Amino acid sequence: MADVRLLTGSFDAAVEIERFLAANGEAGGVASFIGRVRPGGGVEALELSHYEPLTLPGMQALAAEVEARWQVTGLLIVHRSGVMLPGEAIVLVAAAAHHRREAIEAVDFAMDHLKGDSWFWKREKRADGWHWIEPRERDFSDLARWDEKSAN
């Protein structure tokens, strides 16, 4: 069963990964991704807001899709909302499986869907104020490649 959490406060990604590794000691492969607020570029803060009745259920549905598509023995999705500072963790996705490819692809799929098909609105604070951030074309193409893979 997947561990899916939506947080309003910070989390320690290293501690979460250690717990995940301990809980999935029989896995032959474990893959993880940590997304952080990028330092530099004039960004002073990042804010993620969401529509609460849809966000966590959407994340849980995504986890169920990952588990149906790959033979993972463990799955962790932790995502923050609220205001975050440069360097702080935004998201952590980890997958455990008997073989590395299953774990790597499960994490990649989950991240592409969280990034390109998510339930979050994002804005950055810079010296001149807050600015909404729209998804990039790359986010959509990353997401679309999974449709192509399922057709093959």
CATH code, domain carrying 85? 3.90.1170.40
- The structural domain count of the chain equals 1
- Residues 21-58 have pLDDT tens digits of 999 999 999 999 999 999 989 999 999 999 888 999 99
CA–CA dist 39, 72 (Å, integer): 33
Q: Please give the C-alpha separations between residue 77 and each of 5, 39, 42, 63, 125, in angstroms, as whole numbers.
A: 6, 23, 29, 8, 26
Domain residues for the domain of 103 are: 3-151
* Per-residue pLDDT at 82 exceeds 70: yes
Which helix (H) or strand (E) covers residue 122, if one does? strand 120-126
Cβ-based neighbours of 17, under 8 Å, separated by 6 or more: 32, 92, 94
Once rounded to an integer, what is the mean pLDDT over residues 83-92? 97
Instruction: Please give the pLDDT value at position 18.
Output: 97
